[in-house]
Chain A
């Protein structure tokens, strides 16, 4: 659990990563996160862990406006509250049973979250949302490499997965997603092949 500054918005997904009826899975600063969209289009970001026995929500399924855990099919509504427990179908589920909800903001075609983020997410210039590229290096190393050799035509943000890996996200200002992809893959090769 490091490298995650409170008060900061981090990009954790692209809006196109969240189609209907799908649970998206990622990590931020060592915290595992699950994200999904309810039928009204709203995005929900939760700790990727069912409070019952700790099974990842991302193994589960979205059905309408509920996420069902794959283990015992407990159902969780948009607010994160558990709404139904099949093993005890007559139980009025106590309010204490809920997902751990993270803040969400949508901006620049990306989904943002963080620990008590303040204000709005960083503004990005218009363009096409890139394919996110994971790099097996700490965010500081990736940032340093981008300062040393900036990639032209790209507005980039970093998502620290944990201490050893980072996802690079952002926008291609000229909409050339293929060129951007090549540039990021080249960056990845340079960083991962170095010591």
Chain B
């Protein structure tokens, strides 16, 4: 499998992160997006007319949407990451896209000088982060999506003992959101959840997202 990749782009990181958790090897084809604009060459646009990264190539399959790439990897390697019986999976993947358009955009604007209105992006992101915080907090307390009753505390966005692609898809925008001027200081449930993702076996980092420190015996 080949992944056309740029290290610092969160959607690319999401695919690399899932691959790490699945123990799957990807052959990386790095592109110099910034400042090289290598995703706008004729050759790349022939592969993906939208010019976006990542692109996952698995045999004859060319997948140009990063969420679809996550779904593809999960479905082909470990369905525990793709809880299809939960409608919430779709909601959370939609949330991930919205986080990308807001928190992700603010990060690219502030860090790499990408075009856009960082203040507007942050305002949108803050509302979304507050909502993820609220739902995670209630999840931790044991409240399910559909009803309330004492259950065992949940660690992940979707009910159940196993993380899903929804967690990783949201994590790649939430973990580095402070790069874009947002803050997780008053969002303790998000901070705890980020640690849980970081401590997953096979976790890989993106620059700016700290992996667990070495020599910690975890």
A25 to B212, CA, bound (A): 18
- Interface check A22, CB cutoff 8 A: yes
11 A-B Cβ contacts within 8 A? A16-B140, A17-B188, A22-B191, A26-B185, A59-B210, A61-B212, A61-B213, A63-B217, A131-B138, A132-B186, A177-B141
In the complex, what distance in Å separates the CA atom of A181 from the CA atom of B136? 13
Given contacts A70-B210, A131-B137, 14 further A-B contacts (CB under 8 A): A21-B218, A22-B191, A25-B185, A26-B185, A61-B212, A61-B213, A61-B216, A63-B216, A68-B213, A68-B216, A131-B134, A134-B186, A167-B186, A177-B143
Q: Give the Cβ gap from B212 to chain A, nearest Cβ, in Å.
A: 7
Bound-state Cα–Cα, A73 to B216, Å: 11
**Does B148 sit within 8 A of A, measured CB to CB?**
yes
Counting CB contacts under 8 A, is B151 at the interface?
no
Q: In the complex the two chains form, what is the Cα distance from A131 to B192 in whole Å?
A: 14
Question: Chain B residues in contact with chain A, CB under 8 A?
Answer: 134, 137-138, 140-141, 143, 148, 184-186, 188, 191-192, 195, 199, 210, 212-213, 216-218
- When A22-B195, A26-B186 are in contact, do A178 and B213 touch as well, CB less than 8 Å? no
A68 vs B216: C-alpha distance when bound (angstroms): 10
The 6 closest A-B pairs by CB, nearest first: A134-B186, A63-B216, A17-B188, A131-B137, A61-B213, A25-B185
Chain A window 155-167, contacts with chain B (Cβ cutoff 8 Å), 1 for yes, 0 for no: 0000001000101
Task: Provide the main secondary structure of the chain B interface.
Answer: loop
What distance in Å separates the Cβ of B57 from its nearest Cβ neighbour in chain A? 36
Assess whether A191 is interfacial by the CB under 8 Å rule.
Answer: no
B213 touches A73 (CB 8 A): yes
Query: Beyond A17-B188, A26-B186, A61-B213, is A178–B195 a contact (Cβ under 8 Å)?
Result: no
A62 and B186 alpha carbons, distance in the complex (Å): 20
Interface centre among A21, A24, A131 (most CB of B within 10 A): A131
**Which of A25, A26, A178 has the most CB atoms of chain B within a 10 A radius of its CB?**
A25
